[in-house]
A and B are shown apart, each in its own frame.
Chain A
Amino acid sequence: MCLRFLSLCVLALFVAGCAKHEPAAIAVTTVHQIPRPAGVLRVCADPNNLPFSNQRGEGFENKIAELLAQDLGERVEYTWWAQRRGFFRNTLKAGACDVVMGVPSGFEMALTTRPYYRSTYVFLSRKDRRLNVTSFDDPLLRKLRIGVPIIGDDQSNAPPAHALTRRNIVDNVRGYTLYGDYSQHDPPARIVDAVAKGDIDLAIVWGPLAGYFARQSRVPLAVVPVSPEIDQPFLPFVFDISMGVRRGDQDLRDQVEQVLEKRRAEIDRILSDYRVPRVDQEKGASGV
């Protein structure tokens, strides 16, 4: 509980920290006040990234978008763009669409709603290996072949790599780029395939990806939340996820939040169908 509050605090600090550094004088503002077309909920989404979204509408974000549109009395229309560097610039900020179904709460490039779920990075391994790794401090991590997602934005990387490096676990770690080969289906999922095939013993990946593909896998896979939830010096493994609209689009944000509140039970059911590991549901605390 304490840790969860801390995680929120950490995120709040990021937001405050970022706001503090806004340049003082800006004569030209690029906030887009673009009127939304009537009857259409325009969603910016990746066409090839399950379990989140794909062009066939098979992701949980596709399903939730349908719910959202129903309540707003609209139909869903997608702007497809690979969700990598430039995604927000070319879709949401360019005015091509109006809502992104999943972003970290307080994310700088969008105006975010209250979070609608909180998930965690997980240890993913074959059940038949019986590894039972639950903590970054497990000595076994020095011996296993470990896969981590890498991003490669300079000086940025996914938290598992940092947590391992801090413990001097480097040589037995293999990186799987989140970009992957975009001609294949759902490129970030290759790390899960690698666990199933035995190329690596253990992967440390974001929960929703692991939960969904572990469920699809023919080889039974174990999904275990990592601990600690926040590693030193300030490295969170637990993230609140919100929906994002364009900065300045308060109206749409408020409308979306109302639907999130009203449809909470159905949204929870969808997330559960997709095996999204949740860390916000004890004591019915969903959507804190």
Chain B
Amino acid sequence: MITIQSFGFRGAAFLACLLLLQSACTRKNSQPQQTSPNRVLTAPTGATVSAEPEDGQWTMPAKNYASTRFSGLEDINTGNVASLKMAWSFSTGINRGHEAAPIIANNLMFVVTPFPNIVYALDLTQPGAPVKWKYEPNPLSSAQGVACCDVVNRGGVYSNGKFFFNTLDNNTIALDAASGKEIWKTKVGDINLGESITMAPLVVKDKVLVGNSGGEFGVRGWLTALNAADGKIVWRAYHTGPDADVLIGPNFHPYYPQDQGKELGVTSWPSDAWKIGGGTMWGWISYDPEQNLIFYGTGNPGPWNPDQRPGDNKWTCGIFARDVDTGDARWFYQFSPHDLHDYDGINEQILMDMPVNGQMRKVLVRPERNGHMYVIDRTNGQVLSANPFAYITSSKGVDLNTGRLIYNDEKKPEVGQVVREICPAAPGAKDWQPSAFSPKTGLMYVPHQNLCMDSEGLEANYIAGTPYVGANVRMYAGPGGNRGEFLAWDPVKNEKVWAVPENFPVWSGALVTAGDVVFYGTMDGWFKALDARNGTLLWQFKCGSGIIGQPVAYRGPDGKEYIAILAGVGGWSGAIVAGALDPRDATAALGFVGAMADLPNATTRGGMLYVFALP
């Protein structure tokens, strides 16, 4: 039995809360996101988000369709978080990067490990949360050889009695959440072609949404919808190629002229380069029930170098709005046309309504890899603003009339030429690590990195028997010398409110609660709680390994609020530890190792779940 308490929001919301409380209690076994009446939470700044009533669970990595990663729980707050203690822990037994969010539903906690993608269900009703069931998908071991970067998994999702997740070797799997029994398993991609899956699926209505990874290997990116009941593929939208494949039809109305026209997914590439053009999808999807639209970004174009693929290379490095039932594209905006720097556009977008120039607008806010904080009208794809949230030299801003990113030609990397101080570096000002938004403070909490890179000459290399020379890329800390930063951003004022510099890139997600506490982890293993209003460090705990996971909050069967995080360093940034790379090989992991040579001194690998509560 989940006890639900009132949320303690100020003002007249009390009655509404009682009503919501009642509705939450009466439908505790039904699917919350489908049946509940949403409420609107309004921040002091005027920004509002639509949110389901707080049920104490955490059924999807972003917590809700608006992707706020905001928990309405407030037992743990700025006044008492200093006494937070570890309640219990659980070892996953895996030594690779742990990027998943623990998922909590019906008093079970679900954990998906990196390859080999084992799922554990932990019984929260028992002392120490013992394993209730374990599911091993046994993915092909060759999947490890073809997967980019590290063999991470960003978690699963609970919906309507089922637990859904993806395996590195391209299977989407539905399990019976109570028993762990496999209900269906659908192969959606081909590992032999270089495809893999690392993202967490999103379930909207009766659809399970999944995209592929592997842009580095010349795959063609897509997002696909499976029927949640039986795993049958309902639609698939490619991100390069003919309109028919991209699901572009008469309802497609992009805001800017450069995105209007026929067959741009073919004509914005030389000859048939779109067939291996990348534009994969391994990040985050948000959903607006009112418009019945999903929003998600596409990865970088590949595998050609920029000068070998003249054109805008559509529909890579941009964002799509699609009808969730049919996959039909409604609008598209391209963050980085003709990408020069590996700026995948797969980051999260947070849906909110907020005043822009005195007018309430339905927007999505996206801290983008190219370093700009995009505020986009989610009804039509118009860019309302795009202010820098990080140090940028690779571009000179976004032209709000044309919507185009203004590249800095001096920072265009070219093979054989030395180009210094390209900022942000290839992982961008922010990579996949998701931000949070609090409707109480009105602030977004953005974990990100502060890295620049030099493309400086050539290095002998070797793939599948063929020798070649490639650009020798090195990354290093940007201005200030800190490689990471955790910042609070006011999307209405469009400015940074406070920021905490971090020595290493902040590669973990963020969580913010109604107790006005914001949580994140560092790559050297500190799990931190800050005051959401001013960034003051209130509590920290040293985990056994570096943190690149996603913190969550939930209410246990005992009525207490818990905070959970997976530690276990790895991923692209942590490959030097998880993959035991040689720190002398500065250009390994596409140059990331050079920036992380001291990480092995600061942490060791090992996947472990940590759960915290007040004593």
Interfacial residues, chain A to chain B (CB-CB below 8 A): 11, 14-15, 17-18, 21-23, 26-31, 46, 49, 52, 81-87, 89-90, 93-94, 102-109, 149-159, 161-162, 165, 170-175, 177-179, 181-184, 187-188, 205-206, 208-209, 233-236, 239, 241, 247
Contact = CB atoms under 8 A, between A and B. Distances in A.
A234 B305 CA distance: 17
Interface stretch (B372-380, B443-451, B576-584): B576-584
A23 to B, nearest CB: 4
Contact of A46 (B272, B307, B465, B584): B465
B142 interface: yes
14 contacts: A29-B583, A82-B142, A84-B463, A93-B581, A105-B460, A150-B276, A153-B590, A155-B305, A155-B455, A156-B461, A175-B273, A175-B276, A177-B218, A208-B465
The 10 A-B pairs at the shortest CB distance, nearest first, are namely: A152-B303, A156-B470, A155-B471, A177-B218, A183-B192, A233-B416, A23-B597, A182-B192, A239-B467, A28-B600
Contact of B304 (A23, A157, A235): A157
B576 to A, nearest CB: 9
A107 B217 contact: no
Contacts, number: 227
Contacts of B193: 181-182
B583 A175 contact: no
B417 interface: yes
Nearest to A100: B462
B459 A14 contact: yes
A236 B469 contact: yes
A188 B466 contact: yes
A239 to B, nearest CB: 4
Contact of A162 (B272, B413, B415, B461): B415
A193 B355 CA distance: 60
Contact of A175 (B303, B426, B461, B469): B303
A156 B466 contact: no
Interface string B392-434: 0000000000000000000001011100000000100000000
Contacts of A103: 462
Interface string B298-323: 00101111011010000000000000
B41 interface: no
A17 B71 CA distance: 51
B458 A154 contact: no
Nearest to B593: A23
Interface string B144-187: 11101000000000000000000000000000000000000000
Contact of A154 (B145, B216, B310, B464): B216
Contact of B465 (A21, A52, A89, A93): A52
A62 B485 CA distance: 50
A18 B459 contact: yes
B305 A157 contact: yes
Contacts of A87: 145
A53 to B, nearest CB: 8
A279 B196 CA distance: 40
B357 interface: no
A84 B460 CA distance: 14
A89 B581 contact: yes
B181 to A, nearest CB: 30
A97 to B, nearest CB: 14
B197 interface: no
A26 B583 contact: yes
Nearest to A14: B460
B369 to A, nearest CB: 13
B146 A173 contact: no
B105 interface: no
A208 B465 CA distance: 9
A174 B468 contact: no
Nearest to B474: A21
A90 B426 contact: no
Nearest to A160: B468
Most central of A49, A90, A104, A179 by chain B CB within 10 Å: A179
A6 to B, nearest CB: 14
B501 interface: no
